[in-house]
Amino acid sequence: MERTFAMIKPDGVRRGLTPEILKRLQHKGYRIVGLKQMTIARETAESHYGEHKERPFFGELVDFITGGPVVAIALEGENAIAGWRAMMGATNPANAAPGTIRADFATTTGENVTHGSDSSDSAARELALFFKDGELLA
């Protein structure tokens, strides 16, 4: 069993995609062990995306992710880290395989609907950033 951090980004929430995305991950068989709609504080966003802080798009990325409510999700399941990344598809929707979330619901890299941790270290770090002890199911 693995846990990972998933997020429906502000574009996904704004466009009413929350039920569709929750449906997909539940139908896949993942268990939702934490779920909340929230607005991300700027310092939380800068920490979450810290690996990108030298990239030219960092400012826009932080503006975007703090610009409206997101849905933060803690997912549990076998191979959940790679499995959720596979369901999302490639970062650039133009490269995402048909049937993936980013291929089906996005056209630009900057607004690509969902986030998923990319490793077990990232998953642990991001889950701790977004959820307090006691907010996650045992």
Residues that bind ligand DAT (CB under 6 A): 52, 57, 61, 91, 109-110, 112, 115, 118
CA dist 11 and 71 (Å) reads 11
Nearest residue to ligand DAT, by Cβ distance, number only? 91
115 is annotated as an active-site residue: yes
Q: Binding partner of residue 50 among Mg ion, ligand DAT, none, CB under 5 to 8 Å per kind?
A: none
Q: Which does 76 bind (CB under 5 to 8 A by kind): Mg ion, ligand DAT, none?
A: none
* Among Mg ion, ligand DAT, none, residue 57 binds (CB under 5-8 Å by kind): ligand DAT
Instruction: Give the separation between CA 93 and CA 68, rounded to whole angstroms.
Output: 21
How far is Cα 69 from Cα 72, in angstroms, rounded to an integer?
A: 10
Q: How far is the CB of 122 from Mg ion (least distance, A)?
A: 7
> Rounded to whole angstroms, how far apart are CA atoms 105 and 119?
24
Q: Are the C-beta atoms of 11 and 61 separated by less than 8 Å?
A: no
How far apart are the C-alpha atoms of 110 and 112, rounded to whole Å? Answer: 6
Instruction: Answer yes or no: is 132 a known binding residue.
Output: no
* Catalytically active residues, by annotation: 115
Q: Kindly list the residues in this chain that would bind Mg ion in the complex (CB under 5 A).
A: 118
